[in-house]
Chain A
Amino acid sequence: MKITHVCLAVLGAAIMVWPVTIMAGDFKTPVAPEEVLKMPNPIPPTAEIVKEVPSVYESKCSKCHGDKGDGKGSATKGLDVKPRNYRDKNVMERIPDGQLFWIIANGSDPEVTEMSGYKKKLSEEQMWALVHYIRRFTQ
């Protein structure tokens, strides 16, 4: 009986501590290393290169980022940290191509978000092509 009460007390204490953890846990997207951040997109947005990108986006990205890139895909219900809204022009203008590429490759914070890295599943060319595709949502 005593152990049950101790466990309940621990849970109660956790509830009390919650506001503190919320303040400490304000989410910030990881930032790419300086050299990647400054990299321009090395591939041109030619028709041939971006031809296969819609199907890559559909299979890998749209469940969370949505068909329209608004971050409201069907796999986002109940998530505490919502996916990036690619249609938000103000935000997207401040994110360099290198940062988008680096997050696609390595993922975001795995403890807080569902954004996993795709460097083992996609080629570098495909990931840079995705950056072109993502930019289209604000055009």
Chain B
Amino acid sequence: MQRRMVLFTVMLSLVASGLSIVMVPKTAEAIPAFSRQTEKSCSTCHQAIPKLNQTGQSFRQNGFRFPEDKEWTDIQDMKHVPVSARIIVEAEYNNVDNSRPTSKLSVATIELMAGAPLGKTGIFSPYVDIGYANRTLAVNQAYGQLNDLIGATGHGLLNLKFGQWDTALPFLSHSQRVMRQRYFAQSALGVIGARAQTIAPAGVPVADEAVEFYNTAVELNGQLLGETISHRYMIGMFQPQQLTEVSRLENPGFYATYAATLFDNYQIGAIYKRDTVNNPFPGHPNSNRALDKWGVAGEAKMGPFIVTAGYFRAAALDHRDLQNVMVEGFYIPNKTWVLGARWDHLKQESAPSGSRTTAMIRYHISSSVYIQGEWRVTDSFNAGQPNPVQFEQDSLQGRLFVNAGF
């Protein structure tokens, strides 16, 4: 066992060093499309890719516009084609309870992303993210936003967004996770981002790295930015993932989020979702049922530290609500290194509660090319049950990613 671990570590090191030699650019100028368009560095909008800071949250919600630009025609002249690509190569090691350890090296994701404000006033902002993963080509996010329905041009007081994305908090969402490990609030509860269309059967891990889930929705959103306090809101209707194809539009889900930022560095937010699911009990008079889901979260940035904590709750068909507590912290001493850890705890009445603990380290070769290692422990879900695994098997997992964006 130890020999296997040593061999695996050596293999990972060789792969990492080989890839880093190949992928180190001649100059550290690997900047994706938004950075090229706005002439700002990645760190203007990202605390750690892809997690957005205040500037990035405003830029995204404002249809990829800085209000100072006033006109956005230069983005359409195709001097800077608004397309980016991302490749993630992954080496993984899995040691799941009661089975032999496994390991593999794969191209986890190839993604193409495009987005830009269109028109002289930037009235419409489309965004598309197409990904190839697990031998499947899929549309991840694809949406359009009509900007500035009221208020001054370029300030995004009220916008109309439609398409597919992860309905979540502005500062805590599935697509902004720095650790590739999923949040329980997404994978098990479907609060920040959408849950999988079907619940994985017992014994099948749900921690797949590549398959992403988003909501199809129509949303009114906006922001009001001030010197000491800023407000961001979203209210919308979404198509429930868990319903059969025929009844989805007849039974829309609803959601609303609000987040406030205080003194640039402190954020609080709340999200409420009314999801609809098929009622699986035969002979039940109602073919579907609404489930309330909600959560509150806060984030504090103190120098190089970012700490995020959240509590999420989702009703279940059998009245055994799912509860989730999550604490995540990052230490970002400079633009080269990121260290982080997360504790994600899931609880359900009459079922063994369990936790995922993840530790990560990232080294930036350039602003958008990095190597990231994650070590994950999932435990306690199996406690005291002969044939358990409601959510995930107890396991140890090692992951090494090489992410290149250009």
A95 interface residue, CB < 8 Å from B? no
Flag B45-70 by CB within 8 Å of A: 1 or 0 each: 10100000111001100000011111
A116 interface residue, CB < 8 Å from B? yes
Flag B275-308 by CB within 8 Å of A: 1 or 0 each: 0000000000000000000000000010111000
B375 touches A114 (CB 8 A): no
- Nearest residue (CB) in A for B304 is A18
B55 touches A1 (CB 8 A): no
A49 interface residue, CB < 8 Å from B? no
A4 touches B69 (CB 8 A): no
A18 touches B68 (CB 8 A): no
A46 interface residue, CB < 8 Å from B? no
Which residues from 54 to 107 on chain A have a C-beta closer than 8 Å to any C-beta of chain B?
58-60, 62-63, 66-67, 72-80
A111 interface residue, CB < 8 Å from B? yes
Report the stretch among B106-114, B202-210, B331-339 that lies at the interface.
Answer: B331-339
A7 touches B359 (CB 8 A): yes
Report the stretch among B10-18, B36-44, B81-89, B136-144 that lies at the interface.
Answer: B36-44
Which residues from chain B contact A114 at a C-beta distance below 8 Å? 40-41, 43-44
A63 touches B304 (CB 8 A): no
A21 touches B329 (CB 8 A): no
Give Cα A74–Cα B225 distance, bound, in whole angstroms. 9
Give Cα A58–Cα B333 distance, bound, in whole angstroms. 32
Interface size on A, residues (CB 8 A): 33
B375 touches A7 (CB 8 A): yes
Give Cα A98–Cα B275 distance, bound, in whole angstroms. 61
Which residues from chain B contact A4 at a C-beta distance below 8 Å? 357-359, 375-377
- Which among B41, B304, B334, B339 is the interface contact of A10 at CB below 8 angstroms? B339
B44 touches A14 (CB 8 A): no
B340 interface residue, CB < 8 Å from A? yes
A7 touches B361 (CB 8 A): yes
Give Cα A83–Cα B304 distance, bound, in whole angstroms. 18
- Which among B43, B47, B69, B396 is the interface contact of A1 at CB below 8 angstroms? B396
- Nearest residue (CB) in A for B70 is A58
- Nearest residue (CB) in A for B361 is A7
A47 interface residue, CB < 8 Å from B? no
- Which among B68, B261, B265, B361 is the interface contact of A66 at CB below 8 angstroms? B68
Give Cα A22–Cα B329 distance, bound, in whole angstroms. 18
B341 interface residue, CB < 8 Å from A? yes
B92 interface residue, CB < 8 Å from A? no
A33 interface residue, CB < 8 Å from B? no
Which residues from chain A contact B334 at a C-beta distance below 8 Å? 111
B341 touches A11 (CB 8 A): yes
* A11 in contact with B377 given A63-B68, A74-B68 (CB within 8 Å): no
Give Cα A73–Cα B59 distance, bound, in whole angstroms. 12
Give Cα A3–Cα B399 distance, bound, in whole angstroms. 13
Q: What distance in Å separates the Cβ of B304 from its nearest Cβ neighbour in chain A? A: 7
- Nearest residue (CB) in B for A77 is B54
Residue with the highest number of chain B CB atoms closer than 10 Å, among A22, A58, A114, A121: A114
Q: Which residues of A contact B (CB under 8 A)?
A: 1, 3-4, 7-8, 10-11, 14-15, 18, 21-22, 58-60, 62-63, 66-67, 72-80, 110-111, 114, 116, 121
Which 8 A-B pairs give the minimum distances between C-beta atoms? Answer: A7-B359, A77-B54, A78-B54, A78-B53, A62-B68, A14-B331, A63-B66, A77-B55
Q: Which residues of B contact A (CB under 8 A)?
A: 38-41, 43-45, 47, 53-55, 58-59, 66-70, 74, 225, 227, 230, 261, 264-265, 301, 303-305, 329, 331, 333-335, 339-341, 357-361, 375-377, 379, 396
What are 30 sample pairs from A and B whose C-beta atoms fall under 8 A apart?
A7-B360, A10-B339, A11-B359, A14-B333, A15-B305, A15-B331, A21-B333, A22-B303, A58-B69, A59-B39, A59-B74, A63-B40, A63-B66, A63-B68, A74-B58, A74-B225, A75-B59, A77-B55, A77-B230, A77-B264, A78-B47, A78-B53, A78-B55, A78-B301, A110-B41, A111-B334, A111-B335, A114-B40, A114-B43, A114-B44
Given contacts A11-B341, A116-B39, 13 further A-B contacts (CB under 8 A): A8-B341, A8-B357, A11-B331, A14-B331, A14-B333, A63-B69, A66-B68, A74-B55, A74-B58, A76-B55, A77-B264, A78-B264, A79-B53
